[in-house]
Structures are given as structure tokens and as C-alpha cells.
Structure 1
Amino acid sequence: MTRLLDPTAVRELAARLDLRPTKQRGQNFVTDANTVRRIVQLAGVRPEDTVLEVGPGLGSLTLALLEVAGRVVAVEIDPLLAGALPATVAARAADRAAALDVVEADAMRVTELPAEPTIVVANLPYNVSVPVLLHLLATFPGWGRGLVMVQSEVADRLVARPGSKIYGVPSVKMAWYANTARVGSVPPRVFWPVPNVESGLVAIERIDPPATTATRGQVFAVVDAAFGQRRKMLRAALSGLAGSSAAASTALEAAGVDPTARGETLTVEQFARIAELLPSQR
């Protein structure tokens, strides 16, 4: 029988470890058992799954994942937390302790895991959530679905569609890899320390990237340039990549895109087509 963490247990663990949560590492630990069980349920974790969890912290979500998943691979950058997690699991879910692998590493740099994940479920640190997520999508192609908890504002950006005021680089790059949907919110009160923002839950379903002769790097370079000067028309924003505003206009017209349009109106497929046609990208 798994004993999930409650507010008292979280504080006791932190005191035992002499842990002082830092904003630098985005450390806000979930203290509510209902919240972590809800996350596992929304993620659709199955017994055959190998779950990749990033930033397990004190183990609140880890314990809930181990109730359902076949295996959990937890990547933790903090050596204190990475070292303590196996003992917490052994004490609270002894029969599932062997199903946990802890990897002490920076999730933005990790390239090898003890098992290939089939799903990612994580409470991502607010300050690095987007780069971590994009790195995991690029580095571990085997996982096909996921559910991440991020700052509410970031959640909205990840799921934004063309034409939205908040549609930007994270929106387009996520669309290269996956379909996304906002599936819930999490209030600040279920965390310790209590953050000053609400969290959002984003469901991820991996898809094939757009059919294009351009590489992902070439497409993402166009995306970065288009939003680097968000108020500029595309012919101006892409002039650096193309070599000139005139060359950018020619490529945009060939791609079927109005040179006076702005990046927030384009789909990922349109960005891919532009990348194929820019002179510097060929």
C-alpha cells in the first residue's frame, strides 16, 4: 500500500534534509494527494508504461506514478533530493521501490536514460519548463504522450494557435512535435512553498513533424527570427536570414505567404515551407 505525501510529511522530509527550496531551481513541491492522483489519471498512465518524471523533488508525484506505472525514471538535478528519493519510496511504497530509477542530471542536458520512456509526466520547474520540454521531445523520440504541469501563462502559450496574441516560439515549436491541449488548472495552495501563480496542465500527443525538405534546425531558425522582432513584418524579420528584405519577400511569396504578414499568423507547416525556400537555408 502506497502512502502518498501530505503537507505534514512534505515539511518533515524537508526538515530532515535541511532543505531550503530555491527559486533558482523552481522548487515548489506538491503537498496534496488528490492533486497528484488527478495528474496521473489525466495523463492516462498504464501498467505497461515507463514514465519519465522531471524534477521529482521530495517524491509527491513519484509515489502516485508508482501506484500505476510499470517503471518510473526520475531525473533530478539536486543531489540532495536525488539521493533522498529512493529512501522515501522504500518507506512509503516498499513493494514498488524496485520500479524506480533515479538519474541525477540536468534535464536540459540529459541524453541517456536507464530505460526508454513511453510517457512523460512531470511538474516542470517554472523557470526552465519550455526548454526542458523541447529537449525531451528532441532527445527521446520513443515517448508518444505526456502531461506536464507548468506555470499557467506558459501552459497557454504551449497550446496557443495561430492568430492568438500569445502564439509564439513555444507554440510553434511544440506544434512541430505534438498536439497539445490545456486539460486543467492547479491552484497555488497545493504547493509548498506556495507560488504566486496558478499552474496549468498540458496534455501532449506526439505527431509526425511536417513533411518538409528543411531540417528541424532550419525551420526553428525561421521561427526564432520571425518572433525575434515580433512587431515587424516577415519580410523585415527574416531579412537577416535571407540576406535582404527583397530576398525574404521572394521566398515568402514563393511559399504562399504575404510578406507583410507577421509570425503570429503562420502555422508550423508554413514556417517549414518558408525554411525550404530561403536562399540561406538551401
Structure 2
Amino acid sequence: MPLTPSSTRDLLAALGHTPKRYLGQNFLVDGNIVRKSLELARLAAGDTVVEIGPGLGTLTSALLEAGADVWAVEMDRALAQHLRETLAPRFPAHLHLLEGDAIDHPLANLPAASAAAGFKVIANLPYAISTPWMDAVLSGPLPERLVLMLQQEAAQRYAALPGSKTFGAISIFLQSAYEIAPGHKVAAACFHPRPEIESYLLHLVRRPPAFVFDPATKTLIRACFQQRRKQIAALLRGRLPDDGTAWLAGLAEFDLTPRARPEEIPVAAWQRLHAA
């Protein structure tokens, strides 16, 4: 599969395919980044891997050649057909390709038994879907490890700490389930066409145990961050049977009062809201 700008341009021309910006089609053209993705994921033969947006198959072929069982979802019909014609015949028992939307199929229709046995996600994630896709994945079943190519701004938002303007609901959900391990910066020159932003390989390792919020609590937390400058006591009023009185009192343990704003409240305190 292509790993240089010129070979990528040649293949796209042969396919008559113009990269679609709305699908985030910036194709990886640096073999070092592919190798780094597999290294961070600690990929081993026999691993089950979910890939989102395989595109031209650059990362997909590396995963398959390393002995992984790959479940991939690709929205672009022409690229899905290209993968069916090129990679599927080479790896008929190990490539499971779904043509569809990753938001509707966040784990590429990975069977429940395979998910329960343990799996990883390794993907050059289309930037436009990164947060809704991540939110869906965090509802479970949870991958053991994720290595995701993301817009650097998105990676910073996921890793943001309380007190930061970028700390938000997705930061809480993700950090409750995963430890953020050292990742890797990726320059714009590693893609074709070259994006206008910098990228980052985000490396996530599932916590033992992982904390997963129920849908009602996630909805409440998102609502709080939609008015992130308001005091938390005002935001909870009428949303909980006792207006969250007991939970608000517990903020004292974190040196906070009911006048605190959502972005000031640490992840551990939000987890207690789940019980409230």
C-alpha cells in the first residue's frame, strides 16, 4: 500500500478519486508513523483490532501483515470497493470490512464475543467525527488500548485538566475509563493532502477498573458544561431530587464550594455524581 506522497497521488489518480474534505480524507504517507502506531498499541499476532476509516489501506495492510484480525468501517463507497478488491483477497479470513458510518457502527460490527475477549482500536480517525465517535465507544464495550490519530486540538481536549478552558464532558468520560499514556506528535507533512492543522497520536490504556457513566449522568454532565460559566449549584437545581445537596457538600473534599463552575470540578467528583 502507498507510503509516499507520490505513490498516494498515483493511486488516487488511478482510482479517479479526489480526497473529500468533509470525510477527513488526509491519507497517511509516512511509514514511520504507521510503525509508531503499531508500537504504541503493542500489537501482537492474533490481536483483534478495530480500525475507523481505513481509506487506501495504508494502516490496514500493516495491521494485517502483523497478524491482526481487523474489523474496519469505511464510509466512502469507492475506497471500500478498493479495499475489497486489493486487501480482502490477500487476507480473506482476517479482514472484516463494513461499508458504513462509524458513528452508527463505532466498533465496525465487532461481534460481542470478540469484544469480550479483548480488542484494541488503532485508527487514523476522521477529525470531523472524533468526539461523537469517542463518546459512543466510551459507552462500552471498552477497548483495552486505543492509538488514535487525531487533530492535536482534539487530543488536548481529551487530556485537559480541571481549570482548563478545554476541560469538558468528554475529558471526564475519557479520563474516567482510560489513562493517557505518552503519545506522539505528527506533522502535517505526514499526510496527503496536507492538512492545515497539526496532528497527534493519542495513546489510551484502559484503567483497572474503568469507570463508565450511565446515559442519564452523561446527559446531566453535558448540560452542565453547556453553561460552564454558571455555578454548579445553580446548574443542578431542579435536576436532582435534593438539588444535589449531598453531592455539593462533598465538593469540600476537593477544596471547592457549591459556587464552583463545572470546569473547576475534578473527574473524581463527577464520578460521585453518578451515584447521586
- Output the TM-score relative to the length of structure 1: 0.85
Q: Does 1:102 align with 2:100?
A: no
CA RMSD for the aligned pairs? 2.4
Say if 1:156 and 1:182, in contact at 8 Å, map to a contact too.
no
Higher helix fraction: Structure 1 or Structure 2? 1
Counting only pairs closer than 5 Å after superposition, residues 60-139 of structure 1 correspond to structure 2 as: 60-89=58-87, 94=90, 96=91, 98-110=93-105, 112-113=109-110, 115-116=114-115, 118-139=119-140
CA shift, 1:67, in A, is: 2.4
Listed as ranges, the matches of 1:236-275 within 5 Å are: 236-239=234-237, 241-242=239-240, 247-248=243-244, 251-253=247-249, 256=252, 258-275=257-274
Which one of 218, 221, 228 corresponds to residue 220 of structure 1?
A: 218
Distance of 2:36 and 2:229 partners within structure 1? 40
Does the 8 Å contact 1:255/1:270 carry over to 2? Answer: yes
Classify the secondary structure of the residue corresponding to 1:179: strand
Counterpart mapping for 1:1-282 below 5 A: 5-89=3-87, 94=90, 96=91, 98-110=93-105, 112-113=109-110, 115-116=114-115, 118-141=119-142, 143-207=143-207, 208-210=209-211, 216-239=214-237, 241-242=239-240, 247-248=243-244, 251-253=247-249, 256=252, 258-277=257-276
Q: Which moved more, 1:257-266 or 1:70-79?
A: 257-266
Instruction: Decide whether the 8 Å contact of 1:4 with 1:63 is kept in 2.
Output: no
Shift of 1:178: 1.6
Once residues 137 and 216 of structure 1 are traced to their aligned partners in structure 2, the CA distance between those partners, rounded to angstroms, is 10
Give me the whole-angstrom Cα distance separating, in 1, the residues matched to 2:169 and 2:138: 15
Where do 4+ consecutive residues of structure 1 move more than 3 Å?
114-117, 248-251, 254-257
Structure 1 unmatched runs, 5+: 278-282
Helix, strand or coil at the partner of 1:161: coil
Deviation at 1:199, TM superposition (A): 0.4
Q: By how many angstroms is 1:217 displaced?
A: 1.4
Q: How many residues align?
A: 266
Q: Is the 8 A contact 1:255 1:274 kept in 2?
A: no
Give the direction of change, closer, same or farther, for the CA distance of 1:210–1:70 in structure 2 (3 Å limit): closer
| Pairwise CA distance, 1:139 | 4.3
SS at match of 2:184: strand
